[in-house]
Each structure stands twice: as structure tokens, then as C-alpha cells.
Amino acid sequence: MAGALLIAGTSSDAGKSVLVAGLCRWLAQRGVRVAPFKAQNMSNNSVVTPDGGEIGRAQAMQAAAAGLEPSVRFNPVLLKPSAGNDAQVVVLGKPTGTVSALSYAERKTALMDVVLDTLAGLRAEYDAVICEGAGSPAEINLRKNDIANMGLARAANLPVLVVGDIDRGGVFAHLYGTLALLDAADQALVSGFVINKFRGDRSLLAPGLDQLRALTGRPVLGVLPWREELWLDAEDSLSYAADGVIGRPAPPVGAQWLRVAVVRLPRISNATDVEALACEPGVSVRFVTDPSRVEDADLVVLPGSKSTVDDLRWLRENGLAEAIHAHVRAGRPLLGICGGYQMLAGTITDEVESGAGAVPGLGLLDVDITFAKTKTLANPVGTAFGHAATGYEIHHGQVTRRGELDPLITTDDGDEGARHGPIAATHWHGLLENDAVRKEVLRWAADLAGRQFTVAGTVAFAEVRAAQLDLLAALVAEDLDTDAVLRLLARGAPGGLGGVPPGAPREPLSRSSAGGASPARA
């Protein structure tokens, strides 16, 4: 059976996803057949796999790093937060209902069976499996039913590396405290630490690394530097500050910048849709929550939402709905994507997500939307803005009536989306990753906004993403003790690792007896 390793973090956004991607890329470049795995992800940023399932976008990025197509096996459980404390549960790519935070705990024993079976299948097929934890393994209130962090590590006997983000400050306390809050059996699997996003002179860090090893008996296997080029494929919108610029925009080719405002909805989904725009020279893309930012923008993007009706209410309550109307009345362009498209409708009938029934939309497009119980999951192909295009669809909302509007996209199965005056809208995610389509969208937006903006002809988004994955692999090769990582994959956690007080006695989640396997199954 192949070796496997769990990358845990001191917190969300500590660097787990990028380290897993970097390790997958580095191993793949060495000819190792490697696969990523995240037992449970909580994110509204997802993609559709070739076989029509839904997984977290980070696992699709990690699959690309490993040279693989996305698969539901790489993320068997996906939680998609919606309104309140509820979340949709997606198991092996398919939605299986909505749960509350409390009721979800009751399902975890059965889900552990799914997780362990899936991981065992991957380990039988690949040379190595690099697993990603979720949040922090020291969330002691959740340890009893954990299936993503130390619960998974214990059940599958995985060595664990804990990564901490030094840019936030307090990284030594975070690393030590994470270990100290685990019980003795969990601590025995924690085999080392990784520090992420370091800036400055490493010699100043050395005494702390030595003291951390002396206190814990575990080495720091790497100090990964801060690299401002690494910003694509963020796990979720929390990685971006409100009213902050996305990416590192290059200067414009023409006389003026094109200013893009992306409305940061409270329950935004697939925020990465706009990252391709931010790769273009002279395009300044920022998430906004202030109406003045909307009115000043050249192009406004109303993105996807996991809770269309609730986020539409938020738009109205915060003056953003009127700002969007004013933007359109001025003849400036608006792009609606998925939930953003649905918000532009005359009427939205939703008995599925919000249970609100029929509510008025923004009334900017002559369409009506009705939410269906069955979720659309698809990887369509077609033509948009005169160019071949691919994308993916993830939505319950369906267009049940469309007035005399031009389609945005044509496919063999019929028209999709809508264009009307300065408005373009679609259910397709990933549309802007099509280079020719993206450049036409920018020309269309600049023309309507009256900007002297010139589209660069050299940006290929797939190459930009591949270059970032290669950079992650280079950082792993240069700044991580890769020999130690290979030993962990080959031999598991080293024996004799001491414990750190105080620890906490807890019982691990047991695998159900239905499969006849023990909780320690590898």
C-alpha cells in the first residue's frame, strides 16, 4: 500500500492547500504517481469533475499539480455553507441533503467509512497520497467526531506535518499549542512542523527553530518564503480582504486601467471566477462591499452565491442594489455569474435553498428563475463572445422564462445566459479562463465604459496557473527537507516521539462495524 502523509495547519489559510499542491507537483516531477486527498472540505468554491461530481476547488488545483483530472475521490465529503448554520453535504460528488452544525455530527461515523474506503482505494492505486487536513487539528471541541484531521490520521495511521503561517505572528505559540492540545496518541503521529510565508533574514529565525525542537522533540522540516506571485486559486473568499485588490496587476498596455468591482457577497461562491481577469495587464480587480466602489467601477461583476435570495436581500439592505441599478442606467457593463445571474431576474422562486417562495429580483433582465430540488452539475462546451468556450455549472436555480434576450452562450443543447444592453449573464463558472473569451469581455467592457484600455495579447491563463504550480514545487525542493518527507511516506511517523503537556484524553471516532474494519485501518 502506498505511503500517505497528512498536512495539518494551525488554522484555516495557514498554507495547507498550497503545501499539498507543492508536494504533489514536486513528486509528480520526480515520476511519482501521486494523488491529493481531503477527507472533508468546507467551502463554497467548488468545481465539477469530468464524471459530473462536485469537489472543492483546492483539490482540483492539487489534482492539476499532480497531473491528474479532478475526481470525487480526492474530496469525498464537501460541506457548502448556506444561510444560518446550515450546510449542504456533498458525498462523493453528489448532494445528499442539508444539515445543521449539530445534526452533521450524527452523520460523521458513517462518513468515516466513506472517507477511509476512498483513501484506501487511492493508496492501492498511487505511489503516494498527500492528504490535507481541515481548519486546525486542535479544535478540541470537534475532536470526538473528527474525520478530517487527527481522527483520519489515527484511523489510517498517517504521519502528520503541521504548517503555521508566520505572517500572522505568534507562529511558535501556534505550533507548540497545537501539539500540546492533542492527546498522547494523536501527538505520536505529529512528526514535524513547517513554517509558511516567512519574510526576512532566516538567521534571526534559527534560535526559535532550535527551541521549538528542544521543547517538542520535533524538527521544523521547512521554512517556506513569502512569494507575492502565489495568489491564484484561493481556498475561499476569506483569503481576500474586502475592498482589496486581487492579485498583482501589471501596468496597462494602453493609456488607462480598467477598474473591475466584484461584489463580495456574504455567501459568495466560486470567487476564483474573477482571478483570470486579474492576470491581465492593466486590469484592477477588487472585491467591494461599499456602494461607492460599485458606482465608480468600469465593470461590475455580480458573482455566484450559495444563498441567492439571502444575498439579494443583503444587496438591498446595504445600498448595493441601487448602486448596481445606477451603474447599469449609466450604460456601464455588468457581468452576472450563476447566483449573480439569478439576482438580475424579474422573479426568483425559491422553495429549495431559502424556502422564501417567490421574491422580486433586481429586475434588470427579463427572466424568471425557479429553484429545482435537483442540482445541475455539468461541464458544458459552447461559443461565447464569438469564441469556443468551456465552463462548469453548479446551481439549483433554473431559467423558467426568458424574454426577448440574446443568449450569451450557444451550445449544441441550446442557448445559455443572456445579453441585454450593458448586461451579460451566465450560469457558467470558469468562463473567463477561456483566453479568447476573456479578452473579448474586456474589450466589450472597456468600450461600454469609455475607457482607453488596450487588451494585452500574451496572457494565457493555463500557463499562468501552471507557472504557479511549478513555483510551489520549486519552493518545496529548495526550502523543505524533502528527504525527511520521503522517509515519512515510506515509513510513517517515527517512533519514540515524546509528548508535550498538558494534552487531553479523548476517544477517537470509531469506524462503524458495518465494514468489519478496525479504526486503525491504514
Residues serving a catalytic function are: 338, 429
- Asked whether 130 and 21 are in contact (CB, 8 A), the reply is no
The burial class, CB within 10 Å (0-12 / 13-18 / 19+), for 239 is middle
3 state DSSP class of 287: strand
Report how far residue 300's alpha carbon sits from residue 445's, in angstroms, rounded to the nearest whole number: 9
Report how far residue 301's alpha carbon sits from residue 189's, in angstroms, rounded to the nearest whole number: 45
Residue 383 C-alpha cell reads as 461559443
Report how far residue 56's alpha carbon sits from residue 48's, in angstroms, rounded to the nearest whole number: 9
Rounded alpha-carbon distances, angstroms, from residue 385 to 164, 289, 438: 44, 29, 9
Report how far residue 446's alpha carbon sits from residue 299's, in angstroms, rounded to the nearest whole number: 8
Phi-psi region of 242 (alpha: psi -120 to 50; beta: other; left: phi over 0): beta
Q: Which residues of 187-201 are buried (b: 16+ CB within 10 A; e: fewer)?
A: bbbbbbbbbbbbeee
Question: Which residue type occupies 395?
Answer: H
Which segments within 379-484 are labelled E, that is strand?
Answer: 381-384, 387-390, 393-402, 409-411, 414-416, 418-420, 423-426
Cβ contacts of 398 within 8 Å, gap of 6 or more: 369, 370, 371, 372, 376
Report how far residue 115's alpha carbon sits from residue 37's, in angstroms, rounded to the nearest whole number: 10
Place of cell 532566516: 202
Report how far residue 299's alpha carbon sits from residue 445's, in angstroms, rounded to the nearest whole number: 6
Rounded alpha-carbon distances, angstroms, from residue 176 to 135, 172, 180, 183: 16, 6, 6, 13
Cβ contacts of 117 within 8 Å, gap of 6 or more: 515
Q: Are strands 258-263 and 299-302 parallel, antiparallel or unpaired?
A: parallel
| DSSP-assigned letter for residue 285 | E
Report how far residue 365's alpha carbon sits from residue 402's, in angstroms, rounded to the nearest whole number: 9
Report how far residue 258's alpha carbon sits from residue 301's, in angstroms, rounded to the nearest whole number: 13
The secondary element (H helix, E strand) that includes residue 134 is none
Place of cell 507543492: 22
Paired residues of 283 in beta bridges:
258
